[in-house]
Amino acid sequence: MELRHFRYFKVVAELQHFHRAADALCISQPALSNQIKQLEDELGTKLFNRVGRRVEISEAGSLVLASITHILNDVDRMKDAVAEIESGVAGTLRVGVIQSVNALYAQDLALAFDSICPNVSLCIEELSNDEITTKVERGELDIGIGFAHGPVYKNLAFTQLFKEKWSLICSLSQADSAKRLLKGEAHDLKAILLPNHFETRRIVNKYFLEHHISVNKITELNSIIRILAFVRNSRSFTILPSSFASLSSIEPLQSFDLSSAITPRVVGMLQAQDRITKRSASIFAEVLTEQLSVT
């Protein structure tokens, strides 16, 4: 059993087609089929089921794929770590961040890191918190920046960076209406919110329910920048982490602190335990701690 067997198997599993996988791997289809058969013979199980011209991964194959993905990611990480030793800090660093961190801090973090490690290719990807934890666990991300979710992260180290406080945000002209809303009184403001699949929206929905806030009109946008632009130019409001109120460079926004009503969210750094840590990841962690940690 060799690494090439793992790589070939992973491509077939992803494409679900031997001919397309062979083209992607630049080998002949018979050669690819032979490699997969060798892996099946060694494992003593069938990894794929044929469905017409396509193939579907078997139950045993799904288990093998999960293990192989971990192995190949660890091998790639080891190669990067060795390359850093041989040629200085280089290679690729993959970082996953939640939307608020991407909007508020990603640019400054990238600039600070690039000034220290100009030869490293930095990839910062905006993801949901669940996607970040999953990808860090699988080794698909070197570092994640997300929020604390439950008392313990399995197989992950969580380092607290800061707490996100919450605010109701509206234009200056709508401040009086917002005050009425916060008192539970009648108002004519429309809520501009993230869609329901965002964790931020679930927190806002809970706040509305627990404090008997009446919201009859809602517009959903999946970009915080667009939400703030909408709020600035209409009879509306939003509820977001307080730092977003500072993003409006054209006209100031009115912000009402909700810290007493919504528990601040703990944001921190996620890294896999018991894995090789690349030098570039350690440097990025130092930049994170320096720029974002609460003193």
In 3D space, the residue among 225, 269, 262, 257 whose CA is nearest the CA of residue 244 turns out to be: 225
Q: Which CATH class is domain 166-263?
A: alpha beta
CATH topology of domain 88-164+266-292: D-Maltodextrin-Binding Protein; domain 2 (3.40.190)
pTM check: above 0.85: no
Q: What pLDDT is stored for residue 285 in this prediction?
A: 94
All residues at 6 or more sequence positions from 214 whose CB lies less than 8 Å from its CB, including other chains:
184, 186, 187
CB 76 within 8 A of CB 265: no
Per-residue pLDDT of 161-172, as tens digits, reads 999 899 999 999
Q: What pLDDT is stored for residue 295 in this prediction?
A: 40
**Which CATH architecture fits 3-68?**
Orthogonal Bundle (1.10)
Chain-centroid distance of CA 88 in Å reads 28
The span from the CA of 81 to the CA of 18, in Å, is 33
3-68 matches 166-263 in fold: no
The span from the CA of 269 to the CA of 113, in Å, is 16
Q: What is the dihedral of CA 212, 216, 219, 225, to 10 degrees?
A: -40
What residue segments make up the domains of the chain, in order of their start?
A: 3-68, 88-164+266-292, 166-263
In 3D space, the residue among 121, 126, 123, 165 whose CA is nearest the CA of residue 146 turns out to be: 126
CB 203 within 8 A of CB 238: no
DSSP per-residue codes, 181-205 = HHTT----PEEEE--TTSHHHHHHH
CB 6 within 8 A of CB 71: yes
Chunked in runs of 10, what are the mean pLDDT values of the chain (295 residues)?
88 88 89 89 88 84 87 81 66 90 92 92 92 89 86 79 93 94 90 91 92 91 90 94 74 89 92 82 92 69
The span from the CA of 77 to the CA of 25, in Å, is 21
Single-letter amino acid, residue 265: R
Single-letter amino acid, residue 261: A
Q: What pLDDT is stored for residue 165 in this prediction?
A: 92
Contacts 24+ apart (CB under 8 A), 289-294: 289/159, 289/161, 290/112, 291/105, 291/108, 291/109, 291/112, 292/105, 292/109, 292/161, 292/162, 292/267, 293/160, 293/161, 293/162, 294/160, 294/161, 294/162, 294/163
Q: What pLDDT is stored for residue 268 in this prediction?
A: 93
Q: What are phi and psi of 188, to 5 degrees?
A: -120, 20
CB 239 within 8 A of CB 258: yes
